[in-house]
Amino acid sequence: MSLRGRMRAWAELLRVSALFTVPGDALAGAAALGVRPNRSTALAVGASLCLYEAGMALNDWADREEDAIDRPHRPIPSGRISPPAALAAAGALTAAGLALAARAGRPSLAVGTALAATVWSYDLRLKHTAAGPAAMGAARALDLLLGATATVRGGERAKSAPAGGGATTGRAADGTSSAGGGVARRAPARTPSSGAGTAAARAGLRTALPSATLLGAHTVAVTTVSRHETQGGSTAVPLAALVATGVLGTLAGRPAAEDMGRGAPRRTTTADRRPDPATGPRAAPALAGALALVYAGTAGRPLLHAALNPSPPLTQRAVGGGIRAMIPLQAALSARGGAAGVALGVMGLVPLARTFARKVSPT
């Protein structure tokens, strides 16, 4: 096989066109805290990408016998990629994802480990059980929470860093007097205590949980529909997913503060909160509503077609539409958290996802 052919096979195995639906998870998690994305958020995005691709490789390895019957064109049953190579890729990508999560802090590693365990459990055990859709939804929710824990940890580290290096007037940076010609020593950078960092991460998890729940619920609906994409025949499933899309779109378009109860303030964390640098906070609620409509249209239209005619091609289109709808949903969740600039940045991934989807199917 030529180099181009091998690259094509791996692109199909890893569903590279669906990869653009992943970064928005961590960014939406950061937005739920009202915090600008930071270096730790970038680490969470990298971890998410690796773990997502690990799940894609493991999925095809686990389904290789089933795909030999229903999808013989897939890379493994067609012989373009060997089963050991796919399994090795899944293991290597999982290890890389956990390594990146560990660099973002212990709380992020804990969430990343739970995410990896969920992915492997789904692919190897839960996929064909009643718990399959819930497991997939939990994986997406954990992915958003990974971004939240990493971001809040990064904010704590930024706050603990000294404002400047060198001596201050009358007192050295290490707290000793610099009078009398003594040379002031640079103070060591303070790091947040383990207890303080854990408490901040827990607060971040609680704050981001409503957004994670919405994203997870959408994933449950898409996964449930995907169970019928090779054979079709179900009208009730895409119809139920269509109703769920309408409810989720309504909730995603609401300001996040409304989820905390009428008149109740949003929960804050110890992480530094800053206004959105791109478009001010007043634009975020209207943008969230607009993006929620985009989400509902992207996911709802093909679901309606599948409900009216539950054939395999239309059901597959409904699944593809649900995957593509992840991006405007993530953008809406970012905007509802006040991060209008982040939301627009997430929507910038849509053209890339469409371009790659024409070359490699996301399903």
For the chain, the domains span 7-160+202-357
Nearest CA among 147, 272, 252 for reference residue 210: 252
Higher pLDDT, 273 or 44: 44
pLDDT at 187: 46
Q: Which CATH superfamily is domain 7-160+202-357 in?
A: UbiA prenyltransferase (1.10.357.140)
CA angle 329-330-333, nearest 5°?
85
pLDDT of residue 12: 94
- Using CB atoms within 10 A of its CB, is residue 202 exposed (0-12), middle (13-18) or buried (19+)? middle
Residue 123 predicted with pLDDT over 90: yes
Q: How confident is the model at residue 90 (pLDDT cuts 50, 70, 90)?
A: very high
Percentage of the chain modeled with pLDDT above 70: 81
What pLDDT, on a 0 to 100 scale, did the predictor assign at position 157? 63
pLDDT at 70: 85
Residue 155's pLDDT is 64
281 against 29, higher pLDDT:
29
pLDDT for residue 231: 80
| Mean pLDDT, rounded, for 233-259 | 88
Instruction: Look at residues 141, 335, 325, 331 and name the one whose alpha carbon lies nearest to residue 255.
Output: 335
- Residue pair 119/135 in contact by the 8 Å Cβ criterion: no
pLDDT digits (tens, 9 = 90+) for 165-182: 444 444 444 444 444 444
* The pLDDT of residue 248 is above 80: yes
What's the mean pLDDT in 298-325? 94
Q: What pLDDT is attached to residue 358?
A: 84
Mean pLDDT of 18-35: 94
Lowest mean pLDDT among 9-13, 73-77, 131-135, 197-201: 197-201
pTM of the model: 0.83
| pLDDT band of 363, cuts 50, 70, 90 | confident
Mean pLDDT of the chain: 85
- Chain-centre distance for alpha carbon 65: 30
